[in-house]
Amino acid sequence: MILLNENVKKRIHFIFRCIVSIGILIFLYNKINLNIMWGAVTTSDGTILIFTLLVCLFERFVMVVKLHFILTLKGMRPHFWSLYKLVWSTTFVGKFAPTSLGVDLFRIYGISRATDNVVDSISTILVDRFLGVITILLMATTVFFVGGFVEQEKEVLVAMGFLVVLLLGLVVGLSKSLRMFVGRTIRRIRFLEKYVDRAGEVAHSFYAFRKYPSKLMILFVLSVIFQAGRVLIPFMVSRAIGLEIPVTYFFLFVPLVIVLAMLPFSIGGIGIREGSMAYFLVEAGSTMDQAVGISLLIFGITLIAGLPGGVIYLLEGFGEKGKMEKSVVPKMDKN
């Protein structure tokens, strides 16, 4: 009966996410003129779109370099091309996962098959995701204060305030004593206990890198490059459409869109991502037709960039078992 109840809860949650995704897409559809939107898409600058595709491919490459670096620090000897194929295939399949975090689960599965080490595989992806969240929040917060957006609309102020709180929480969490204090406090709430344990694993994994400041700085720089690529893609697509929105504005709102798409309220972030992006673009002077056209072009470009991953998945799945070997490099101390 308990198993049945869990299955029912999962189905209800899935149906809810479908309703949210479909509902937002229907709302956007009713707000646009298809002919005008399609006209904006078909008259966009092809040269800029091709360059955007190249940026998207470069973004994939940086992701592989990051994971390769983390795995090497954990004592693995990953084959770069095998890891590249894994990132490519998981990125493609992840676009159709029930949640935008599904790609992380696929990568954990692929790396654990290759390394025969589930713990290090989970830790690798969690460290990468954790550092990515810190980086993108830091970028957005910096632009908010130095980019002339302090006088923006109240919605943006509330959203940026939320990001500042998250960033401060992440920074404070780097203190082990504070992490332990917060963990003990929250653990008193019974149903949150399992989430405290998971959050603690993430924090401790990241905390281990503090003993290697030079390596942590390299990871941080790689993360900045990767997240900057994610911001530049919608910026360049908007320029291809003909909008003259400053790039600093994209560094402000794209992180918000990314964070919102991570929330488990829709299918793979579909609907929430398009709706939130349309909102911020319209706030900057775009029409709703142009905003939806930009979202459509971004989806098309990322889909094209990921097509080789679909072929790799059909031929090889998520890679071969035992492909990554253990090296003689000692593992990082997690204490």
C-alpha angle 193/3/265, rounded to 5°?
A: 60
List, in order, residues 6 or more apart from 93 with CB less than 8 Å away. 103, 106, 309, 310, 313
For the stretch 67-99, pLDDT in tens is 888 888 877 777 888 888 888 888 887 776 655
Q: What are the φ and ψ backbone dihedral angles of 147, each rounded to 5 degrees?
A: -100, 10
Q: Report helix, strand or coil for 76.
A: strand
C-alpha angle 259/8/267, rounded to 5°?
A: 25
Q: What is the pLDDT of residue 329?
A: 43
Q: What is the pLDDT of residue 157?
A: 60
Q: What is the pLDDT of residue 325?
A: 54
Domain ranges of the chain: 2-320
**Are 91 and 301 contacting, i.e. CB atoms less than 8 angstroms apart?**
no
Q: What is the pLDDT of residue 51?
A: 94
Which regions of the chain does DSSP assign to beta strands (E)? 76-77, 325-326
Q: What is the pLDDT of residue 47?
A: 93
Q: What is the pLDDT of residue 260?
A: 77
Burial class (CB in 10 A: 0-12, 13-18, 19+), 226: buried
Burial class (CB in 10 A: 0-12, 13-18, 19+), 74: buried
Distance of CA 122 to CAs 93, 104, 110, 130, 220, Å? 19, 9, 11, 12, 19
Q: Which residue has the tokens 């091709």?
A: 50
Residues of the chain scoring pLDDT < 50: 1-3, 327-335
Which helix (H) or strand (E) covers residue 309, if one does? helix 288-316
